[in-house]
């Protein structure tokens, strides 16, 4: 459980930045070179590479270098970690709202 929490925390930290979310969004359409990705953002290449390294360190993307070109690929399985957490939260809140609805309904019937 602790490892799951650490991994999930890292993914959320990586997704907290709008530039990194933009990279994830773009890679959802398919692999792209770092140069092509960087061209979409108003920053220097070294600054952009920090974002790439953060995404890679947290397992959201992987990079492959062929010659002088580094290509980024989305790791869709890693996004399943977020999806699983959100599904769990959704289930918890639905249970809570169901209990609240029962409580309110019971109070109305007893009046």
Q: What is the CATH number of the domain that holds 101?
A: 1.10.10.10
User: Could you tell me the pTM of the whole model?
Assistant: 0.77
Domain of residue 97: give its range: 2-109
Residue 45 has pLDDT above 90, yes or no: yes
- For 19, counting Cβ atoms within 10 Å of its Cβ (0-12 exposed, 13-18 middle, 19+ buried), the class is buried
How many independent structural domains does the chain possess?
1
Question: Which residues, 6+ apart, have CB-to-CB distance to 75 below 8 Å?
Answer: 59, 60, 61, 62
Q: What is the pLDDT of residue 72?
A: 98
Q: What is the pLDDT of residues 84-105, one digit of tens each?
A: 888 888 888 887 776 666 667 7
Q: Measuring CA to CA, how many Å separate 84 from each of 1, 6, 109? A: 14, 15, 38
Q: Are strands 61-66 and 32-33 parallel, antiparallel or unpaired?
A: unpaired
């Amino acid at each position: 459980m602790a490892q799951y929490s650490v991994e999930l925390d890292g993914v959320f930290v990586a997704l907290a930045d709008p530039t990194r979310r933009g990279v994830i969004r773009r890679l959802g359409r398919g692999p792209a070179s770092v140069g092509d990705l960087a061209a979409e953002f108003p920053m220097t290449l070294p600054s952009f590479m920090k974002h790439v390294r953060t995404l890679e360190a947290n397992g959201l993307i992987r990079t492959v270098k062929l010659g002088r070109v580094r290509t980024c690929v989305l790791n869709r399985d890693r996004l399943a970690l977020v999806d699983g957490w959100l599904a769990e939260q959704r289930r918890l809140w639905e249970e809570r709202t169901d209990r609240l609805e029962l409580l309110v309904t019971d109070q109305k019937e007893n009046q």
